[in-house]
Structure formats: C-alpha cells, structure tokens
Structure 1
Amino acid sequence: MLKNYRASILMVLTGVVLSGCLSSTEKLAMLPEPKINRPFIAGWQPSTADISDKDAHRNLQQNYNEAVKAAASDMGWTIKPLVSTNDSNLSTTFDPARYRAASRYSIDAPDIGCDVTVKENERVISNCLVNVNVGGLKGMQTPDGVHLVTGDAWGFDQSMDHFIKLEAKDGRALPELAFSKLVSANLPNSIFMYLPQDDGTWLNGGEIVQ
C-alpha cells in the first residue's frame, strides 16, 4: 500500500495521469518501436510556464534517483552514490534536447555476490553498479490515454538516452527484471521502462505491459 501511495503522490506532483481504462494493447501501440538492444525509458511530463525546462529535467532526474533508492531498499540492497566526473551539462547548453545528467551507485548485496571495497585512498570499488542516465527533453504531443494538467508536454524516448540499468563488472547475472519492476512501480504512470530481454519487455507501474 505504501508503494501505491507513493506512486499516487508522484503522479499528483507531476500532474500526469495515465487513464486507468487504457488496455495493455493500447499502451503498447503508443510506445516507440525499440531500435536498440538495451534498456531505455520513454515517457511524458507536463510543460508549464512556471517551471523552466532545466527544472523539468532536474525533477525528472530526482524522480529516477528516488525510484532507484526505493527499489534498492525493497530488494534489500545497500547502495551508495559514486562521484561522477560529468554530473550534468545543464549549465553549458541552452538546448533541452541536449540536456544530460548521470548518476552511479555501488551495490552492496552479498547474497547476490555484489561487494563494495573501500581502498586506502577512500576510493570505492564495486563489482555491481546501478547506472542512471537522464537524457534530453523535447516538446511532444501526448498520445491518447495520457492526460496532463496542461496541453503542453515534454517527451523523451529512446533517442534521448534515458535509462536505468544494472551493471556487473565481473559478468555475473543480476536480477534486472525484479529490480526494474520495483523502479517502475515508483515512477509516475506516464513513464515506461523497456528491457530487451524476452524479445522485449515494457514495464509500467511495476507491471509488465503485455
């Protein structure tokens, strides 16, 4: 119930509601045809005059990172942010389509073989990571079934390079689907996650879109 409540709050804050009567088939029809064999995120969020494009991007970045932290907690993992050398380019470009922000987290979860080692120079070494990338934004008309509090929207698809994915440096298999479902459950319902496994899997609201 807590997860559903948290997801409802996020939807209210972003002003986005995906129609509850929209079938999975209709959801699939409005999503982009995957052109890349890796995870990505697609979706929409409202564009309003009182929120700048940069703040809209920051809000999306916050949504992604909060969803990752909640999902990791539900998985029983301890994650810690790693320093990124190029955290954001929001200060160097005026083109929303070129906005980029990245976050990385180490995973401490001995039960799946993910270990964190802190070296003498305080450098953190982990064989398992969560990578969060927030690509650009572009003005886009929302499809039928996605209702915003305004008529304008920022859209993001696979070409914008949005993704949340697990990485195992030693090649071990990680529970990507289980983790991604939990991430998806903590994102607004206007955001969809794509996984390339099983000939392509879409997630929305923590569930597989059939």
Structure 2
Amino acid sequence: MYKNAHALFLSFLALAFMSGCTFSTEKLAMLPKPQVERPFILGWQPITSEISGKEAHRELHKNYNEAVTSAASEMGWTLKRLVLTNDSNLSTTFDPTQYRSTSRYSIDAPDIGCETTVQENERVLSNCLVNVNVGGFEGVQPPDGVQLVTSRAWGFDQSMDHFIKVQSNDGRILPELAFSKLVSANLPSSVFMYLPQEGGVWLNGGEIIQ
C-alpha cells in the first residue's frame, strides 16, 4: 500500500513538472517582492491524502538534492556529501511550519579553485560548499498561475528558509547563477529560485523570469 501511495505521489510531482504553461510576465506578477537579500526558494506542491506532510517534505528534500547533484555534474564539479549532526527535525516536531532538513556538499572543481581534502581522521575540508536547506510547509491555496493536480497545496515562501546556495570560505567568486540555472531546470515548474545578484533574479525551469 505504501509503495503504491509513494508511486502515486511521485506521479503527482511529475505532473507538477509539466505544468509550467504560465507566461514569464504572469509568473513575475504572482511572485512576492523579496524581503531578504539572500538566495531562497518558494513554491507549491500538491497535498494528497496518501502522503503525510513529513513524507512530502522528505520527497522535496530528495528532489532538491537530486537537482544539485545533476547540476554539479553538468558543471563538471565533483561533490562529496558531508555528514551533518541533527540534519533534520522531522522525528521531533509535528508542526509542518517547523519542519527542517539540511544537506551540505564539498565541491571539488580545480578549474575554479575549489579543492576538497580528506584528512587521516576522515574529516573533509573544502573551500567551496553547496548548502541545501528545506524549511517548513504551510497548507495554502496555490495562485492561479500555478497548475497542480490538486486544489490543496503545501506552500513554502521566503520566510520558511528553503534555499540552495554555493559558498566559498576564501572569498572567491563562484558561478552561482550558472549553477542555479541548472538546479532550477531540474525542479518542478511550481518551484521558483531567487538570487539577489544583478538587482534580484528569479529562476524557473532553468530560465531567468523577465
């Protein structure tokens, strides 16, 4: 039963991928004015009776991570997933708005000066990282421009701390926009990425919304 429900949920996500029929200008009109000068993700995904909020959150986290690894491969980067303590609170909270899951990767890409070393104690050191964070969910009515297979949706906005961002520990400039475009191309059409560069850029389906 669980496997069938799981497969059904994945089919819902696949349909969400194909729902991007809204024109770019209409997409911009339905998006909020950013209140923070940092990268974040907002979006909507279907609520179904077969899948719990926690499982939906896990699927979104998996989706983010798969998009990151695919984008890194296209960039020619080698990623190593780092072990984090307390990387999720799903086992301790029942409030969907408080859900959190985190992943972090080191980047090995000599052409842009990113290096990863593994010490004898297996500690991984890197001057370049990819951080993935999935914050909370809230039950919402999706806007008219977002076509989902259900009328009920989990929504996540800029206040819920969803983000995928690259970071350097030595001040070097990383190709964040190019990488984020590739990430965005592998996310559902109901998910939007914001970057503060160039006065603020929205990405959807791998393209800059204009």
Provide TM-score, normalisation by structure 2.
0.92
Q: 1:112 to 1:44 in 2, by over 3 A?
A: same
Other-structure match for 1:3:
none
User: Residues 20 and 190 of structure 2 are in contact (CA less than 8 Å); yes or no, is this contact kept in structure 1?
Assistant: no
Query: In the TM superposition, what are the counterparts of 1:17-96 in structure 2 within 5 Å?
Result: 17-20=18-21, 22-96=22-96
Structure 1 residue 18, shift from structure 2 partner: 3.2
Q: Percent identity?
A: 72
User: Residues 11 and 188 of structure 1 are in contact (CA less than 8 Å); yes or no, is this contact kept in structure 2?
Assistant: no
1:115 counterpart = 2:123: no
Other-structure match for 2:142:
142
Other-structure match for 1:4:
none
1:27-84 deviation digits (Å, cap 9, x = unpaired): 0111121000000000000001100000000000010000000000000000010011
1:172 counterpart = 2:172: yes
1:205 counterpart = 2:205: yes
Whole-Å Cα distance in 2 between the matches of residues 29 and 100 of structure 1? Answer: 29
Whole-Å Cα distance in 2 between the matches of residues 80 and 107 of structure 1? Answer: 7
- Which residue identity is paired with 2:164? I
Structure 1 residue 94, shift from structure 2 partner: 0.3
Q: Secondary structure at the match of 2:183?
A: helix
Provide TM-score, normalisation by structure 1.
0.92
Whole-Å Cα distance in 2 between the matches of residues 169 and 15 of structure 1? Answer: 39
Other-structure match for 2:5:
none
Unaligned runs of 5+ in 2: 1-9
Whole-Å Cα distance in 1 between the matches of residues 182 and 20 of structure 2? Answer: 21
User: Residues 101 and 135 of structure 1 are in contact (CA less than 8 Å); yes or no, is this contact kept in structure 2?
Assistant: yes
- Which residue identity is paired with 1:18? S
Structure 1 residue 148, shift from structure 2 partner: 1.4
Q: 1:138 to 1:64 in 2, by over 3 A?
A: same
Whole-Å Cα distance in 2 between the matches of residues 151 and 112 of structure 1? Answer: 45
Whole-Å Cα distance in 2 between the matches of residues 32 and 140 of structure 1? Answer: 15
CA RMSD of aligned residues (A): 1.2
Q: Secondary structure at the match of 1:150?
A: coil
Structure 1 residue 147, shift from structure 2 partner: 1.3
**Residues paired across the two proteins, number:** 200
- Which residue identity is paired with 2:142? T
Structure 1 residue 13, shift from structure 2 partner: 3.3
Unaligned runs of 5+ in 1: 1-9
Whole-Å Cα distance in 1 between the matches of residues 15 and 114 of structure 2? Answer: 37
Whole-Å Cα distance in 2 between the matches of residues 139 and 12 of structure 1? Answer: 17
